[in-house]
Structure 1
Amino acid sequence: DPLINWKPGQHVFLSCHSVVPLQSHPFTVMSLPSDNKIEFLVRAEKGGTRRFFQFATKRGALLGETQSSDNRKRTVFIEGPYGSLRPLRQFDSVILLAGGMGCTYTLPLMRDIVQAWKQEPQSSMRLAATKRIRFVWVIKSRSQLSWVESELQSVLQDLQNLRQQHPHVDKEIEMSIYLTCDEALEKFTRPTTTMTAQRNFTEITRNEDIDEKKTVETEIVVVRSVSSSTSESSVINERSGCGVTRKCCCTTTIENEDDVSFIQKCNCSGAAGKAAPSTPSSPSTTSLVDMKGFKTMTGRPHPRSIIHHVLEQAEGESAVVVCGPRGLAADVRQSVVSLSDERAVHKGTGAQGIYLHVENFGW
């Protein structure tokens, strides 16, 4: 069990000087304290993260490979955790929006609320005021869905089990996955590999002078999944697009998901198109596929419509949390401000307040 404490959404600075000398990298903790493990989802790009990946590859610690006989342990330094967020359990409705690797921030927040829902029937007190969660994730290609698909399915299964055991439970979760060709979701266009790492802690030494710094000796083992997401440098133009307009259909902004009732796979060039090849007869319009409880669409979300729809159903205060590219964060921020003014929040209309938290993407 990890002997450090953290809250959902917090991040730590991770360094392993025997692998990446004199470097420290920030990673959001993907797991919850109740998981009894500390887990990170790391995209191997270049520099330190690439060397971490190469180290894991040489040791045969990747999924599907024979474990290496090299059982030497490496000393890993963890500084933190850092980051603070108003508890989301106190809000009636929670809207979580993420772009690319931003899901490492929003997913633990959703899991934490669902965990409170599961524990509440056995508790003598109310653990969460939240009644509904709206989860939106924008990714570049369908292959990236494998990063956290099992976690998303687990959340939906937990809610289904809760409803079966306690039919009176009035909780809702709505998930939407948007597939877009937007290059802004990925900083680099070179081939990348995403690896999920689980750290099994064996020792921990606490520095009494610096409360937030901890030294942990651990065996680095990549245990869950490794998926490659290769993105080629390509420009979406009229000839590389799809449909009669020869424009990329996966850059279309979807203002109302309920109006999307047809199935299609985008055939644009680049990583997104190759991840989801289409047949010649596929219509060149936005697509909707209901995959085991959550909707998967080709296109871009319309933050204002998503937030407005949730606010119309909210019976109390709502929280909006976004983590992703600057463009997505700016759209969400502008939408919240506009809706607050439109609804005249805290101006005698009775409209409930909206809490907004924007988490920076990158370092």
Structure 2
Amino acid sequence: MDLLRRHGDHGHGHEEEEHGHGHGHQSEDSVRQHFLACLYWYVLAMVLIIGSVSRLISIFIAKQRIKRRDAGASSDTSISTVEKLVDAPKALVSRVFQLPVRSATLPIRKTIVVVAYTAFVAGLVTYKSIHHDANFHERIAFRAAWITATQTSLPFLLAVRVNPIGLLLGTSYERLNWFHRWASRVFFASATIHGGFFAWEWLAASFFWTEIKTVKMVLPGIGAWFILAWTVVSTLPFFRRMKYELFVVQHIISVVLLLVFLVLHVPDHHLFSIWCAVGVFAYDVVTRSANPIWRNLRLRVSVNPSLRYAYDASIQAVDAELTTMTIRKVGFKWKPGQHVLLWSPTFRWETPHPFTIVNIPDSEGKSQDVQLTIKTKTGLTRDLNDWARRTGLRGDNGSMRVMLTGPFGAVPNWKQYENVVLIAASTGGSFTTPVLEDLLSAQSPGCVRKINALFIVRRKAHAEPYLQRISRVLSRAKEMGISVNVQVAVTKGGGTVSDAVLRDDDANASRERLIEEPTRGPSVELERFSIDSGASSESGREEQLLKEEMDMDFDGAHASAIERTEGRPEIATFIRTAVGSVPGNVAVAVCGGDAIEKVVKMSVALMKRERARDGGVGDIYLHVERSDI
């Protein structure tokens, strides 16, 4: 039999390696397979280069915008040649491929990336390998083996916390996690093709058990496939969120076993790809360990030298749903909107949790304090809330030791936009508050002339940690020439909104989801007060003031106000009012969960289409902040 003749020798000698596989098969396209394996990384490198260049151009454009604005140029004239060259193809594409507004809620960009990557890998596997002859199954199996081994490093690179890909693209590790999971699924699919076509051939020739007994690399390969299958299943959202701590432990064990089995399975001539993956995994372990050690170990050199670990933190329970934490003298700086991973020896069995930092670094103080607002769910967040309430009943200050890792996260340069709109639900205010505070605390506002912020909370007390910080800097708005309006919508109370409006479904307890209900309660204004003493509280005056804020030029009057409402706000109306018809670049940022994201995406897509149709000047940029860990 031809199959028996081809598999007559099962060693791992040099002669077999020259043929392209440890099964002794003399591959007809071994040179082509090597070329395709290299092509895989050449294409990925080219994509990264294009992404990096695009990021550098965006940084350059942002700096030029701010520089021209500081020099006194208006928003509708301060458009550089580089901006025009970049915006022209974008406008052309948007006109040619004009999608329905409802498509804004769909993950179109992610879908395009996943489909393109999957098609690329499928093309590498099938290129000049589909010939229906006696070697058809074996040829596909060998090609899939090459391409699968070549892919091994990519899922590991995408999972690295100190991420070189994120550094090149200007993003952070948690925003690459979705592609890490999809790259792993494509990796599993190509591994299934590799093993499936071999198994089909062996079973058809009644050679399956003979192959397993005589070729040592087969059993480790089968073991690697089962581990891959388990990894793909266990990373589905349902299983990942069932018990996150257990997921993390089993995922690490699975990855280690996978690498061991791959080293035993892959022939010597292709082990380089596997050792690269092992190197990336080792790099991740070292960097993940080095950051918390560097952050949390402090050596005090004095008459009595001492070594301290962790930080002192005080926690207070606002109520059973919200906890605030202040971590003293962390000794590092961060950017507004970044997050840290927190772990406490008091609750040693809990894994580190990500929380967005509410405050901005103190530019004058030598030691920094980190403030967090934590939504109570399960696990660590529930433990912290229970601890804070117990210590509060005893009259203690709720102090404990905590360890931090980070900061992590990449955020835009908000100063390049004339109009900034910030929308947050529940503890999503942890993201928007430092952005607003930083814009009003900076020495120069850059291009920013108008800021509108919306906070949606269940209870009034839940907004206090944010309003306390915002109130400190609102007085600077007028002297900086910025119109600021802050609206707080309290959804619990008045009987118009269900108690279940806000709920956290994310692993990150500092970024919540807003669950929309079919019925919509009225928005009733409770109070509105102006920081400027000349503002009137009469309803007619308020309506006129709101109209003036909508229609005024950015360089006109500057009103800084906080508005409190009861009931669910009309988010689409808020965005439309905040954006208005004034020319200039607009940034809309949202942090609050699926339902509120859909409303914001629909509103922004509709306004972008209207602005393009009417020939408006400036673009509308949408930033969605959420945890994808």
* TM-score past 0.5 threshold: yes
Q: Which of 342, 347, 351 pairs up with 1:19?
A: 347
What amino acid maps onto 2:359 in structure 1? Answer: S
Contact 2:359/2:469 (<8 A) preserved = no
Displacement, 1:351? 2.5
Query: Percentage identity across aligned positions?
Result: 25
CA RMSD after TM alignment: 3.1
Corresponding residue for residue 448 of structure 2: 130
Extract unaligned runs of 5+ from structure 1.
121-126, 189-193, 196-235, 238-247, 255-285
Alpha-carbon distance in 2 for matches of 1:29, 1:184:
24
Q: Which of 424, 431, 434 pairs up with 1:108?
A: 434
Contact 1:324/1:360 (<8 A) preserved = yes
Q: Are 1:358 and 2:624 an aligned pair?
A: yes
Q: Are 1:328 and 2:585 an aligned pair?
A: no
Q: Which of 600, 604, 615 pairs up with 1:349?
A: 615
What SS does the corresponding residue of 1:45 show, helix, strand or coil?
coil
Superposition TM-score, scaled by structure 1 size: 0.61
Q: How does 1:166-315 map to 2 (within 5 A)?
A: 166=479, 169-180=480-491, 181-182=497-498, 183-187=500-504, 251-252=520-521, 286-291=524-529, 293-312=561-580, 314-315=582-583
Corresponding residue for residue 77 of structure 1: 403
Alpha-carbon distance in 2 for matches of 1:152, 1:21:
36
Q: Which has the higher helix share?
A: 2
Contact 1:326/1:361 (<8 A) preserved = no
What SS does the corresponding residue of 1:173 show, helix, strand or coil?
strand
What amino acid maps onto 2:623 in structure 1? Answer: H
**Aligned residues between the structures:** 252
Q: Which of 395, 398, 403 pairs up with 1:65?
A: 395
What SS does the corresponding residue of 1:51 show, helix, strand or coil?
helix
Displacement, 1:187? 3.8
Q: Which of 379, 385, 389 pairs up with 1:53?
A: 385
What SS does the corresponding residue of 1:148 show, helix, strand or coil?
helix
Contact 2:453/2:487 (<8 A) preserved = yes
Corresponding residue for residue 586 of structure 2: 318
- Structure 1 pair 79–5 and aligned structure 2 pair: CA distance change class (3 A): same
Alpha-carbon distance in 2 for matches of 1:355, 1:326:
18
Displacement, 1:148? 2.6
Contact 1:185/1:325 (<8 A) preserved = no
Displacement, 1:309? 2.4
Extract unaligned runs of 5+ from structure 2.
1-328, 492-496, 511-516, 531-560
Displacement, 1:86? 1.1
Corresponding residue for residue 461 of structure 2: 143
Superposition TM-score, scaled by structure 2 size: 0.37
Contact 1:178/1:296 (<8 A) preserved = yes
Displacement, 1:331? 0.2
Contact 2:583/2:616 (<8 A) preserved = no
What amino acid maps onto 2:432 in structure 1? Answer: T
Greater RCO structure (CA 8 Å; 6+ sep):
1
Displacement, 1:3? 2.4
What SS does the corresponding residue of 2:432 show, helix, strand or coil?
helix
Alpha-carbon distance in 2 for matches of 1:319, 1:355:
5
Displacement, 1:94? 0.2
Contact 2:590/2:600 (<8 A) preserved = yes
Contact 2:340/2:355 (<8 A) preserved = yes
Q: Which has the higher strand share?
A: 1
Alpha-carbon distance in 1 for matches of 2:625, 2:481:
29
Contact 1:9/1:29 (<8 A) preserved = yes
